[in-house]
């Protein structure tokens, strides 16, 4: 963890020297990290898509061989073997956890007087936003990827829509996370969510085109 913290701190210092603003430096740092993780992120998306295909295939197998237990068992074993190959896609989510905590550690070490032109109503990036503008912005950015399946142009047949209950729960959790969080952490989370939304849009456009060709 210390290695990651030191690396992030060095990169953050580099971006600050270029921009002269820690808020902008945090955004650039976040974008740099997400660009590095982007190949794994797309691998995760394709892996999840494959799992959903396999899940539907399993239901078809159960229905097709419901009267043949031997065949049903052999086909089910094949399904689980294929499913295990798709689990590597979850690696991106786990990789972001140490980066998140390392960045939080970097923020704690920042000078208390550190401010940013991006959030002029707060005197320090280590303070929470008492106007709740940052938490509100984060909730909105979290909602965007969850609402994409409901957009006809971006809907793909291999991915189910997220239930409205799950969308509300994720929005509530996002608000709780940033309610008293430092502004610096809020900027990181908002940038990450916006980047994820753009990734999801690009992924859906690519999949839709591939489906049309197929």
Q: What tens digit of pLDDT does each residue of 112-168 get?
A: 678 899 999 988 888 899 999 999 999 999 888 888 877 777 777 655 556 677 778
CA torsion, ordered 192, 195, 201, 203, to nearest 10 deg: -90
Q: What tens digit of pLDDT does each residue of 54-96 get?
A: 666 677 777 777 777 776 777 777 766 655 555 455 555 666 6
Q: Evaluate if residue 31 carries a pLDDT over 80.
A: yes
Cα atoms found within 13 Å of the Cα of residue 92, Cβ hemisphere only = 20
- In Å, the largest CA–CA distance within the chain is 71
Structure tokens at 51: 């799992």
Tell me which of 92 and 198 has the higher pLDDT. 198
Structure tokens at 68: 């043949």
Structure tokens at 88: 């590597």
| Measured distance between the N- and C-terminal CA atoms of the chain, rounded to whole angstroms | 45
Which residue, chain included where needed, has tokens 């189910």? 160
């Amino acid at each position: 963890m210390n290695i990651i913290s030191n690396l992030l701190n060095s990169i953050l210092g580099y971006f600050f020297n270029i921009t002269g603003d820690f808020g902008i430096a945090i955004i650039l740092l976040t974008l740099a990290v997400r660009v590095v993780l982007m190949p794994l992120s797309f691998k995760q998306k394709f892996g999840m898509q494959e799992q959903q295909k396999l899940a539907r295939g399993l239901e078809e197998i159960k229905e097709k061989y419901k009267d043949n237990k031997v065949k049903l068992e052999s086909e089910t074993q094949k399904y689980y073997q294929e499913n295990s190959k798709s689990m590597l896609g979850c690696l991106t989510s786990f990789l972001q956890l140490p980066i998140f905590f390392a960045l939080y550690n970097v923020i704690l070490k920042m000078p208390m007087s550190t401010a940013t032109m991006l959030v002029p109503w707060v005197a320090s990036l280590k303070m929470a936003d008492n106007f709740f503008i940052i938490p509100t912005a984060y909730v909105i950015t979290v909602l965007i990827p969850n609402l994409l399946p409901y957009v006809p142009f971006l809907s793909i047949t291999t991915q189910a829509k997220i239930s409205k209950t799950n969308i509300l729960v994720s929005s509530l959790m996002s608000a709780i996370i940033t309610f008293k969080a430092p502004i610096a952490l809020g900027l990181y989370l908002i940038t990450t969510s916006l980047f994820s939304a753009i990734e999801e849009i690009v992924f859906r456009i690519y999949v839709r085109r591939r489906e049309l060709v197929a």
